[in-house]
A and B are shown apart, each in its own frame.
Chain A
Amino acid sequence: MTLKISFTNLRRENIKHRIGMILVTYFFFFLYILAFLMNVQNICSGEENASAKLKMITKLSEPEFGMGIVAAGAAILLAISSFKYLHSKTEIDFYHSLPIKRREMLYLMLTNDLVLFATPLVFVSAFKCIVAAAAGYASGAFLTNTAWSIVCCIAVFAVIYLTMSLAMVMTGNTFIGILGFGVFAGYFPVMLYYLYPSLAATFFTTYCDGMEGAEYLNYFSPASLTNMLLTSYRTWEWKDHMIHLAVIAVWAAVLLVINDLLFERRPSEMAGKAMAFPAANPVIRFLLVVPAAIYVGLALYAVSFTSFKPWIVAGVIIGAFFSHGVIECIYRFDVRGLWSNKRQMLAAMAVSFAIVGFFWADVSGYDRYLPGVEDLESIGLEKSSDTSFWGKEKNGVSGETMEGELAILDRVVRENDKNTDIYNNGSVDEYRGFGHYNVRYRLKSGEEVRRQYVVSAELKDELMRQVFNTMEYKKDTYSLYTADWSLVTDIKVSYPTHTETLDLTKEQRAELFRCYLEDHSTLDYDTVKDTLPFGQILIMHGYDPKALTEDNPYQNFAMEDSEAYYLYPSFKKTIKYLRDELKVDVRTSMKELSITQLEASRYREDSDVVESLTIYDEEFINSVKDRLCYGDELWLEGIESIDASMELTATILTDAQEESYVVYTDSETLEKIKKQGTFE
């Protein structure tokens, strides 16, 4: 009982002497309340109906970044104000001479700060409920969301506070403590997260995973955890965030234990020094210097705009020297630290070189990787630029097709270095027809290995002939086969010389897609390669947030997208449906049109100057008309038959007036056009 009363009094004293910082913290809450009131007022005075307003006001009660920032800011400020005494010799003498155990002191501060944060949080949450009720928009969902918001804010507060307190305990100076927090917050999700992708992208020609692959590192940072916890697609659902809450709980527990251990062991005499545990200094420095040196090496290589890799060596040396020196200067609060602990600097430099060397020499055989057929489940093949897939999971091709594909890929792998070199350094004519392909090897073990290859025109044809005619490939490549059609928001059809938006019922849309896919399923690679499409169906669609995958990271940013489906003259069912049922006057060729003029333009070789050639010869124009493809709004991606190296404009006579349209044609026709005159 005595202890309890005494502890309450100590709490009161603790609060009394940190009143300034506490008021600053509470000011954040005040600003948040103001912002909330303004939002409610704006919604209430809006034009929307009551149901929409209810939805919008309910949305305000969800866990979100505004409150997250308040929680994080409060955690940082309260932790600094509680633990900053550790950084002052006068204050540490004062506090540590008091008859209170260090552990009790720690828990006094931790619990006090939690109460200091939770009290206004509960007050603000109650206030929000009252305001919503007063505005007539209170609901069960509002209350539930508010409760989750409190849980999330306390979770964010706990993990940020304990990280900040750990940084303060481990350092002897408040500024260094704040830097330390920055290191804790950024080391895993920034420094380590991008290390492997940066190295792989620099040294491996077949690397194609972008900056993905190490998402788990985000779970090691309080800042990233906060971000993940509060990020929501459309609405915040607790089920989507249980993993984040669980990880935060584990982290908070781990941080609490570490804080407890270090707080008790922290030497009081380290007040005023940079770091409180000198034994940890070399380890911390090493962990920072190695990635920093590598990054400087890669950065120097990148800014050199050359493929001269020794810049990396120079960068690693410079990076190791300066990052080591700067950290040592911070440790010592002395610029002369730049020159100290040279052996440790050399060790860090050596490790950085070893890591860079590992990637440079491709010790792991990354670029030579090709799985054995016995290990393979399937192979997925896609163009590198295809990032807008919105269908269901890609499965790749399997069986005999896969075996044939693997045999071709064996040659692709062997030729990849040569082809990459041609693609990067050769002339346009040398790499004409080359393509970047991403290949995903799905192994029987469940693992998935991805590579990117530069494929020559010949090998590309071989590959496509092997896979294009299979439904497995088509389902993996054309989203419409497997996508949820209810995500479609708009459909446009383009054909010579019109583009029109189709206003379709759900049934009409489904029928159109069925006709199209039936036609498309019979499409073979030779047709694609030789036949010019006469138009396209452009499908605007949203994404299913639950189906967002790491394969399509861009979907996160563009919640609505569009995809082109080309119309070939062989697509009889689609054409018939468009004409007969949807009353779209589809033309399948430009043959019937009256083209009075054909203009070709291109950039003069090695110059920005555009030169053009205009053809008026009716006979010639008529001879190539059926090889022209209507180009307005046409997406060129995936059309093998078109040669877009020149821009073509056709002047078409319609209803006694002339209009110009962009058109495309194949390489053969383009050569004929070039021979019709001289470019000026």
Chain B
Amino acid sequence: MIEIKQVSKSFEKIEAVKDIDLTIRSQNIFGMLGTNGAGKSTLLRMMAGILKPQQGEIVIDGQNVWDNTDVKKRCFYISDDQFFFPNATAKDMATFYGRYYSKFDYTRFDEMMNKFGLDGTRKIQTYSKGMKKQLSILIGLCANVSYLFCDETFDGLDPVMRQGIKSIFAKEIDERELTPIIASHNLRELEDICDHIGLLHKGGVLLSKELADLKCNMHKVQCVFPEDAKVSLYKLFHILQLNQKGRLVTMTVRENEEDIAGKMEGLNPVYHEVLPLSLEEIFISETEVVGYDIKNLIY
């Protein structure tokens, strides 16, 4: 488990991360979402022990991560622009990492390289951007660590490859308690991978929830009431957003489907329908509640 306790980090006058409190449970795929400059990479680099928090601490499995070899042996950081030695081949890099990660699985590395169609003896500088990303992930997976920090790692991967990685992650989570933490500014990219989402904005956490909880507890309701009906919807429902066009009311409600349906029946609407929300819509609603226009944050 990763516990981020009151962590702040500034770069000169810019507050990159501000008083963040966050807990990331093990065996979850944690998606860290936010715009450029939201503090995702900074937080991830602090989790990986690269940056030292100015305030607070980051505790992984009960130990502070900063300059702690025991903890860092269980973590692997994949940067958005991973460094490879000039003229090195994939095998050279695997050998290098093998010196630092004692559980590095060379056999598995060779297998996965074959599976992904990457030539281990070719110089990495001749790889495409996507191939380099794949290689980074493969090395990270073969290092056999508990925590994999991926900074914009899935950008540039095609959907098939993303799906493939997702299934590998799922298998790794089951088999050896892997916890991938993925930072991205692309919500759609995370939606099909993550179990838990944290939304960062201006150095703070806007929300952090299980994806399933978010989806189950938030719905879009469309309804039409008789002309003479006087319904106080705000008193009945936990409404996050409400729009009315003529008699058609569309509202985003933070309640589960059964509760909404029960309350609706009591109101005798002419028509009503409870619809699931996409992750995107959930975020739009959640962030608007706290005063942000998500369209400006994510797109």
Contacts and interface: CB of A to CB of B under 8 A. Distances in A.
B52 A101 contact: no
A106 B49 CA distance: 17
Contact of A268 (B51, B69, B102): B51
A90 B49 contact: no
B7 to A, nearest CB: 14
Given A101-B69, A278-B12, A96 B49 contact: yes
Contacts of B101: 99
Nearest to A265: B52
B91 interface: no
A45 interface: no
Contacts of B162: none
B81 interface: yes
Contacts of A100: 69, 72, 100
Given A267-B52, A269-B51, A278-B12, A94 B67 contact: no
Given A17-B85, A267-B52, A268-B45, A97 B11 contact: no
A269 B51 CA distance: 7
A10 B95 CA distance: 11
Nearest to A7: B99
B202 interface: no
A39 interface: no
Contacts of B76: 97
Nearest to B54: A267
B83 interface: yes
Contact of B79 (A17, A94, A98, A101): A94
B99 A10 contact: yes
Contact of A92 (B12, B50, B75): B50
Contacts of A102: 67
A507 interface: no
A104 B100 CA distance: 12
B77 interface: yes
A264 B99 contact: no
Nearest to B74: A99
Given A99-B101, A100-B69, A269-B11, A93 B83 contact: yes
Interface in A254-296: 264, 267-269, 278
Interface in B104-145: none
A13 interface: yes
B96 A13 contact: yes
Contact of B49 (A92, A97, A278): A97
A659 interface: no
B5 interface: no
A98 B100 contact: yes
A97 B81 contact: no
Interface string B85-101: 10010000001100111
A90 B83 contact: yes
Contacts of B48: 93, 97
Nearest to A18: B85
Given A13-B99, A269-B11, A93 B77 contact: yes
B268 interface: no
Contacts of A96: 49-50
A17 B96 CA distance: 10
A91 interface: yes
Contacts of B67: 101-102, 264
A21 to B, nearest CB: 12
Interface residues of A, number: 24
B51 A97 contact: no
B36 interface: no
A530 B48 CA distance: 92
A269 B88 CA distance: 26
Contacts of B81: 90
A91 B79 CA distance: 10
Contacts of A10: 99-100
Contact of A99 (B11, B88, B100): B100
A51 interface: no
A90 B99 contact: no
Contacts of A269: 11, 51
B82 A94 contact: yes
A97 B72 contact: yes
A93 B85 CA distance: 13
A92 B97 CA distance: 15
Given A267-B51, A267-B52, A268-B51, A93 B72 contact: no
B28 to A, nearest CB: 21
Contacts of B215: none
A6 interface: yes
B41 to A, nearest CB: 9
B99 to A, nearest CB: 5
Interface string B43-84: 001001111100000000000000101001101110101110
A550 to B, nearest CB: 49
Contacts of B75: 97, 99
Contacts of B82: 90, 94
A104 B81 CA distance: 25
A268 B50 contact: yes
Most buried by B among A88, A100, A104: A100
Given A90-B83, A99-B69, A102-B67, A6 B52 contact: no
Interface in A1-44: 6, 9-10, 13, 17
Contacts of A97: 48-50, 72, 75-77, 79, 149
B72 A98 contact: yes
A98 B83 CA distance: 12
Interface in A100-139: 100-102, 104
B186 to A, nearest CB: 21
A88 B83 CA distance: 10
Nearest to B100: A98
Nearest to B10: A269
A8 to B, nearest CB: 10
Nearest to B42: A269
Interface in A508-522: none
Contacts of A9: 99
Nearest to A6: B99
Contacts of A17: 85, 88, 96
Contacts of B96: 13, 17
Contacts of B79: 90, 93-94, 97
A88 B149 CA distance: 20
A269 B53 CA distance: 11
Contacts of A268: 45, 50-52
B160 to A, nearest CB: 28
B147 to A, nearest CB: 11
Contact of B72 (A90, A92, A99): A99
A268 B54 CA distance: 13
Contacts of A93: 45, 48, 50, 77, 79, 83
A257 to B, nearest CB: 18
Interface in B177-232: none
Contacts of B100: 10, 98-100
A395 to B, nearest CB: 63
A100 B102 CA distance: 12
Contacts of B85: 17
A91 B72 contact: no
Interface string A382-425: 00000000000000000000000000000000000000000000
A98 B51 CA distance: 13
**Which residue of A90, A91, A93, A96 has the most chain B CB atoms within 10 A of its CB atom?**
A93
Contacts of B149: 97
A101 B69 CA distance: 6
Instruction: Give the 3 A-B CB pairs with smallest separation, nearest first.
Output: A97-B77, A94-B83, A99-B72
Given A97-B72, A99-B101, 7 more contacts: A13-B96, A93-B50, A93-B79, A94-B83, A97-B49, A99-B100, A269-B11
27 contacts: A6-B102, A9-B99, A13-B95, A13-B99, A17-B85, A88-B83, A90-B82, A92-B50, A93-B83, A97-B48, A97-B49, A97-B72, A97-B75, A98-B100, A99-B69, A99-B72, A99-B73, A99-B75, A99-B100, A100-B72, A102-B67, A264-B67, A268-B45, A268-B50, A268-B51, A269-B11, A269-B51
